[in-house]
Chain A
Amino acid sequence: MHKEAEIRQPLILGNKSYKQITDDVVAPVFGKANKLWWLVFGISVVIALWGVGCILYTIGTGIGVWGLNSTVGWAWDITNFVWWVGIGHAGTLISAVLLLLRQKWRMAINRSAEAMTIFAVMMAGLFPLMHMGRIWNAHWIMMPVALFPNNFGSLWVNFNSPLLWDVFAISTYFSVSLVFWYIGLIPDFATIRDKAVKPLQKKIYGILSFGWTGNAKAWIRFEEVSLVLAGLATPLVFSVHSIVSMDFATSVIPGWHTTIFPPYFVAGAIFSGFAMVQTLLLICRKVLHLEDYITVKHSEYMNIVIVITGSMVGTAYLSELFIAWYSGVEYESYAFLNRATGPYWWAYLCMMTCNVVSPLLFFSKRLRTNLWFSFIISIVVNIGMWFERFVIIMSTARDYIPSNWDYFHPTFVDIGIFMGTIGIFFVLFLLYARTFPVLALNELKSILKSSGDNYKRGDVSHPVVPLLASGVIASPSSTKSTAISHPPKTKISSKKDDLTKIEGIGPKISGLLQADGISTFEALSNALPSKLKEILEKAGKRYQMHDPTTWPRQAKLAFENKWDALETLQDELKGGKH
Chain B
Amino acid sequence: MGAHYIEEKYTFSGIAKTLSYVLMLIGLVSLVFLAMGMMGDHSEEAHHIANSRFWTNLMINGFFFFGISLAAIFFLSIHYAAEVAWSTVIKRLMEAISAYIIPGAIPLIIVFIGASLHWNHIYHWMDPHVMDPSSEHYDAIIAGKKPFLNQLSFWGFTIVFFIGCFWAQKAYRKRSIAEDNEGGLKIHMKNFNASAVFLVFFGYFLMIITWLWIMSIDTHWFSTLFGWYIFSGIWISFMTVMTMLILYLKRNGYMSYVNKKHIHDMGKWMFGISFLWTYLWFSQFMLIWYADIPEEVTYYIPRFFGPYKGLFLTMVFMNFAFPMLLLMDSDNKMNPFWLTFVGIIIFVGHWIDTYLLITPAVMKDHFHFGLLEVGLMLGFLGFFMWFVLRTLSKENLLVKHNPYLEESLHHH
Do A326 and B145 form a contact, CB below 8 Å, given A5-B85, A251-B291? yes
Contact of A259 among B225, B272, B409 (CB under 8 A): B225
B222's nearest neighbour on chain A, judged by CB, is: A327
Contact flags (1/0) for A248-268 with B, using CB distance below 8 Å? 011110000111111100000
For residue B22, give the distance in angstroms from its CB to the closest CB of chain A. 40
List 22 A-B residue pairs with CB atoms under 8 Å apart, sorted by A's residue number: A3-B410, A6-B403, A7-B403, A8-B83, A249-B291, A250-B290, A252-B293, A257-B287, A258-B225, A259-B224, A259-B284, A259-B287, A260-B224, A262-B279, A315-B203, A316-B224, A319-B227, A320-B224, A322-B148, A323-B222, A326-B148, A328-B141
Contact flags (1/0) for B290-314 with A, using CB distance below 8 Å? 1101010000000000000000000
A-side interface residues, number (CB < 8 Å): 39
Any B CB within 8 A of the CB of A242: yes
Cβ of A329: which chain B residues have Cβ within 8 Å of it? 295
B223's nearest neighbour on chain A, judged by CB, is: A259
Cβ of A311: which chain B residues have Cβ within 8 Å of it? 200, 203
Closest 6 CB pairs of A and B: A260-B224, A3-B410, A259-B225, A7-B403, A262-B283, A5-B407
A235's nearest neighbour on chain B, judged by CB, is: B275
Where chain B touches its partner, the secondary structure class is helix
Cβ of A260: which chain B residues have Cβ within 8 Å of it? 223-225, 228
Contact flags (1/0) for B162-188 with A, using CB distance below 8 Å? 000000000000000000000001001
Contact flags (1/0) for A1-12 with B, using CB distance below 8 Å? 011111110000
Interface positions of A from 386 to 430, Cβ below 8 Å from B = none
Any A CB within 8 A of the CB of B29: no
Do A7 and B404 form a contact, CB below 8 Å, given A259-B287, A311-B203? yes
Interface positions of A from 308 to 351, Cβ below 8 Å from B = 308, 311-312, 315-316, 318-320, 322-323, 326-329
How far apart are the CA atoms of A156 and B227 in the complex, in Å? 39
B287 touches A249 (CB 8 A): yes
Cβ of A251: which chain B residues have Cβ within 8 Å of it? 291
Cβ of A2: which chain B residues have Cβ within 8 Å of it? 410, 412
B406 touches A312 (CB 8 A): no
How far apart are the CA atoms of A33 and B299 in the complex, in Å? 62
Any B CB within 8 A of the CB of A138: no
Interface positions of B from 69 to 99, Cβ below 8 Å from A = 83, 85
Cβ of B293: which chain A residues have Cβ within 8 Å of it? 252, 257
How far apart are the CA atoms of A261 and B286 in the complex, in Å? 12
How far apart are the CA atoms of A257 and B404 in the complex, in Å? 45
Chain A CB within 10 A, most for which of B196, B200, B204, B224:
B224
Residue positions of A touching B, CB distance < 8 A: 2-8, 100, 234-235, 238, 242, 246, 249-252, 257-263, 308, 311-312, 315-316, 318-320, 322-323, 326-329, 363
Cβ of A8: which chain B residues have Cβ within 8 Å of it? 83, 407
How far apart are the CA atoms of A249 and B404 in the complex, in Å? 44
Do A263 and B225 form a contact, CB below 8 Å, given A251-B291, A252-B293? yes
Any A CB within 8 A of the CB of B48: no
Cβ of A100: which chain B residues have Cβ within 8 Å of it? 268, 272
For residue A263, give the distance in angstroms from its CB to the closest CB of chain B. 6
Cβ of B211: which chain A residues have Cβ within 8 Å of it? 326
A251's nearest neighbour on chain B, judged by CB, is: B291
How far apart are the CA atoms of A251 and B293 in the complex, in Å? 10
B283's nearest neighbour on chain A, judged by CB, is: A262
Chain A CB within 10 A, most for which of B188, B196, B275, B407:
B407
Cβ of A234: which chain B residues have Cβ within 8 Å of it? 272
B404 touches A238 (CB 8 A): no
B295 touches A327 (CB 8 A): yes
A100's nearest neighbour on chain B, judged by CB, is: B268
Cβ of A238: which chain B residues have Cβ within 8 Å of it? 279
For residue B306, give the distance in angstroms from its CB to the closest CB of chain A. 21
Contact of B404 among A5, A235, A315, A320 (CB under 8 A): A5
Interface positions of B from 261 to 289, Cβ below 8 Å from A = 268, 272, 275, 279-280, 283-284, 286-288
Cβ of B141: which chain A residues have Cβ within 8 Å of it? 328
B185 touches A7 (CB 8 A): yes
Contact of B280 among A7, A246, A263, A312 (CB under 8 A): A263
Do A258 and B224 form a contact, CB below 8 Å, given A251-B291, A312-B203, A328-B144? yes
For residue A515, give the distance in angstroms from its CB to the closest CB of chain B. 35
How far apart are the CA atoms of A308 and B188 in the complex, in Å? 21
A6's nearest neighbour on chain B, judged by CB, is: B403
B265's nearest neighbour on chain A, judged by CB, is: A102
Contact of A319 among B83, B196, B224 (CB under 8 A): B224
With contacts A258-B224, A263-B280 known, what are 10 further pairs, Cβ within 8 A?
A: A3-B407, A4-B407, A242-B279, A246-B287, A250-B287, A250-B290, A257-B293, A318-B207, A319-B224, A322-B148
